[in-house]
Amino acid sequence: MKKYEIGYSDTWQAAPMAYWVHIEKENKLWVAAEEFDPPAPKRDSKGMYKIYNVEVDGFTFIFSSIEQLEHCIDILSMKLLPTSIALSEKRPGYVGPNSHWLSRLPAKVKPWSYRQKAVKYLRKVKEEIENRL
């Protein structure tokens, strides 16, 4: 089953890929930083952040920005997945590979056959979201 929905939260930083995609610019802890590259998501008119929940065959991907969705598509579309060690070394900071979003995915999400299906649907969702903006 495939579906997606947009929820709302008072924080964007709790999404699994937020830390790995949005890099703090100033010399502050990530949770205290105010500037990021790419920029942090913006609040809506009610002061909330959009949270994108995308379900593919029983697993729900959670994103708080389009950049996170794009990053997920980039990684999952690779025939051979990179190691979480290699990915975590690319990001400044001291958070180790065991905390990387890729290492936290369940085993059923990692086979190439599942990822092909997931990436196809994630691309479709991304396009739909961008058309709404």
The string of pLDDT tens digits covering residues 99-108 is 999 999 999 9
The string of pLDDT tens digits covering residues 35-47 is 999 999 999 999 9
Q: What is 70-109 written as a DSSP string?
A: HHHHHHHTSSSPPPHHHHHHTSSSS--GGGSHHHHS-GGG
Residue whose tokens read 């939260």: 9
The mean-pLDDT minimum among 1-5, 24-28, 65-69, 87-91 falls in 24-28
- Any idea where the domains of the chain sit in the sequence? 2-132
